């Protein structure tokens, strides 16, 4: 086995979060009217499913099997910030979440002694994550006309605050499993 | 959608390995170090080569045309290279030292309006020239690159910019600084020109340098017009019908006094129902609105009132 117990747990957590993301965006995609945004959300849904596959393959390549985890980061988000009630709120929470994902993967890339296979997987996923942030940002800008720029900004801010709360809670809850992230957060 | 380029088998030999991955735009790359046999030139090619001055230019031209002809043949396109004008929607050429590279779309793709390729071997741009081909944000990112990696990064970014320029169907008045790479660190990704045209590119490391291929995407492929279904007027039966299909509960059970919490205990499912109804009836609901909704009758009333209110705005 090439992974420590904590590393296996973290990679499995990533995998679980990607699966939940795929399921979430799949559901959103099928409710939307045909539009450019629907096409992008469908693309996003496919990306998340692919990312879950990348993590499965990465874990397998390191001679382990993913741990079956039910919970994910997204679940805690929704508890903290409440359910998004419309498409704009879904895009707002997505923007905040995607930024957190990129930040998290960036932090992980800095972890000492990172296995090259894990680095490769993160870098591959991050290529898509950057596009996710761009299309969501563009969608929110476009939605300002319908929902109001101030309301969009307030919603993003509300979810950003929830994100910080959830992230702090996650670091506290999972303790040693994510020790390298806590060290980064405290160093700031 | 991404651009996917075939990789070389070797610097000297010609390559014929188009890779058609899913969701990608395959581009066939062919490299050549040998010139096209002058006896094989078409009338159009003879005219073009005759207009070139100097033996060196002529030799390079013939080498590039050999690569292009092989790539065209490999993709089943007409092989008279004089029929292609650059920038071209399907082909591009580049050479460095004595090596020429041709890039040709492996098939026709709706929405692809240009192809560009650039190769640099044994050459590194002077770092002082970076400000002439990189945007402010790209230069900002470059500052974070370790000093010893800067030459290789600059060479790669130069080839990306050149490939973008060549792929741009209306590049007559553009400069390399007009092209913005979304993520300068990425070996493959997206780029734009002043928000007007989008590109996909991929860079391939070569033993003596780097090669980049780009495709330009039409605005029509980016902002496709979508058929919009007519907006429905809210009525309870129509709402119940949609909810029934979403949550797989027989419509007979969906009476106005049915409680939502019992019907849709899964919160993700509730988001799906809420968004679906807003899309169907073209209304906006907020978290605050939904807090006071307990039964399907409440929901129908809310949708009806919002539809009337928002139609009057």
Smallest CA–CA distance, residue B6 to chain A, in Å, is: 19
Strand partners of residue B204? B211
Q: What is the ipTM of this complex?
A: 0.78
Smallest CA–CA distance, residue A179 to chain B, in Å, is: 26
Instruction: Give yes or no for B182 touching A (CB within 8 A).
Output: yes
Domain annotation for chain B: domains and CATH numbers: 2-222 (3.90.470.20), 236-311 (1.10.1200.10)
Tally of structural domains, chain A: 1
Q: Do the Cβ atoms of A82 and B183 come within 8 Å? A: no
In this predicted structure, what is the pLDDT of residue B12? 32
> What are the pLDDT digits (tens) for B135-160?
988 998 899 888 888 999 999 999 99
Q: Do the Cβ atoms of A36 and B224 come within 8 Å? A: yes
> What are the pLDDT digits (tens) for B288-302?
888 889 999 999 999
Looking up residue A62, the CATH number of its domain turns out to be 1.20.1260.10
Q: Do the Cβ atoms of B190 and A86 come within 8 Å? A: no
Measure CB to CB from residue A78 to each of B186, B267, B269 and give the nearest one. B267
For residues B295 and B258, is the Cβ–Cβ distance under 8 A? yes
Tokens 């609901």 correspond to B285
What percentage of chain B carries pLDDT values higher than 90? 28
Per-residue pLDDT band at B128 (split at 50, 70, 90): confident
Tokens 């780029």 correspond to B191
Per-residue pLDDT band at A46 (split at 50, 70, 90): very high
Q: Do the Cβ atoms of B270 and A30 come within 8 Å? A: no
DSSP sequence for A92-124: HHHHHHHHHHHHHHHHHHTSTT--HHHHHHHHH
The boundaries of the domain holding residue A133 are: 5-187
Q: Is the model more confident about B194 or about B147?
A: B147
Smallest CA–CA distance, residue A98 to chain B, in Å, is: 16
Measure CB to CB from residue B275 to each of A23, A31, A147 and give the nearest one. A31
Smallest CA–CA distance, residue A13 to chain B, in Å, is: 19
In this predicted structure, what is the pLDDT of residue B10? 32
Q: Which of B11-20, B77-86, B187-196 has the lowest mean pLDDT?
A: B11-20
Region A76-98 average pLDDT: 87
Q: Do the Cβ atoms of B272 and A31 come within 8 Å? A: yes
Q: Do the Cβ atoms of B271 and A30 come within 8 Å? A: no
The whole-model pTM stands at: 0.55
The upper half-sphere exposure of residue B22, i.e. CA atoms within 13 Å in the direction of its Cβ, equals 4
Structure tokens at B286: 């907020």
């Amino acid at each position: 086995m090439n992974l420590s117990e904590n590393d296996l747990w973290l990679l499995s957590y990533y995998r679980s979060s990607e699966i939940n993301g795929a399921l979430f965006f799949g559901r959103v995609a099928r409710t939307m009217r045909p539009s450019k945004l629907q096409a992008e959300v469908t693309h996003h849904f496919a990306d998340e499913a692919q990312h879950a596959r990348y993590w499965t393959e990465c874990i397998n390549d390191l001679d382990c099997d993913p741990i079956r985890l039910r919970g994910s980061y997204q679940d805690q988000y929704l508890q903290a910030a409440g359910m998004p009630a419309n498409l704009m709120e879904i895009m707002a929470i997505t923007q905040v979440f995607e930024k957190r994902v990129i930040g998290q993967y960036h932090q992980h890339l800095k972890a000492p002694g990172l296995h090259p296979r894990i680095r490769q997987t993160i870098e591959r996923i991050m290529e898509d994550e950057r596009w996710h942030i761009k299309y969501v940002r563009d969608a929110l800008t476009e939605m300002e006309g319908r929902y109001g720029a101030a309301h969009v900004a307030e919603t993003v801010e509300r979810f950003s605050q929830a994100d910080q709360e959830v992230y702090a809670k996650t670091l506290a809850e999972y303790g040693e499993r994510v020790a390298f992230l806590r060290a980064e957060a405290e160093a700031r | 959608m991404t651009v996917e380029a075939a990789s070389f088998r070797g610097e000297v030999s010609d390559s014929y390995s188009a890779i058609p991955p899913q969701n990608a735009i395959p581009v066939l790359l062919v490299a050549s170090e040998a010139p096209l046999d002058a006896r094989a030139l078409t009338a159009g090619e003879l005219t073009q080569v005759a207009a070139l001055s100097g033996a060196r230019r002529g030799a390079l031209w013939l080498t590039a045309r050999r690569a292009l002809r092989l790539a065209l043949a490999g993709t089943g396109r007409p092989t008279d290279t004089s029929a292609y004008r650059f920038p071209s929607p399907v082909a591009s050429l580049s050479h460095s030292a004595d090596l020429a590279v041709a890039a040709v779309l492996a098939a026709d793709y709706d929405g692809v309006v240009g192809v560009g390729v650039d190769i640099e071997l044994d050459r590194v741009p002077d770092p002082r020239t970076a400000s002439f081909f990189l945007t402010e944000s790209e230069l900002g990112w470059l500052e974070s690159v370790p000093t010893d990696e800067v030459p290789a990064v600059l060479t790669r970014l130069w080839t990306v910019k050149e490939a973008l320029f060549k792929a741009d169907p209306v590049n007559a008045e553009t400069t390399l600084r007009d092209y913005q790479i979304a993520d300068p660190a990425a070996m493959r990704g997206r780029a734009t020109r002043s928000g007007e045209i989008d590109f996909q590119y991929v860079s391939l490391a070569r033993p003596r340098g780097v090669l980049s291929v780009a495709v330009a995407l039409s605005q029509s492929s980016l902002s496709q017009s979508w058929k919009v279904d007519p907006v429905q007027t809210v009525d309870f039966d129509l709402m119940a019908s949609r909810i029934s299909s979403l949550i797989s509960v027989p419509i007979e059970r969906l009476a106005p006094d049915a409680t939502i919490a019992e019907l849709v205990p899964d919160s993700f499912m509730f988001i799906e129902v809420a968004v679906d109804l807003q899309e169907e009836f073209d209304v906006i609901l907020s978290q605050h609105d939904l807090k006071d909704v307990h039964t399907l009758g409440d929901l129908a009333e809310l949708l009806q009132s919002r539809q009337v209110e928002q139609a009057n705005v």
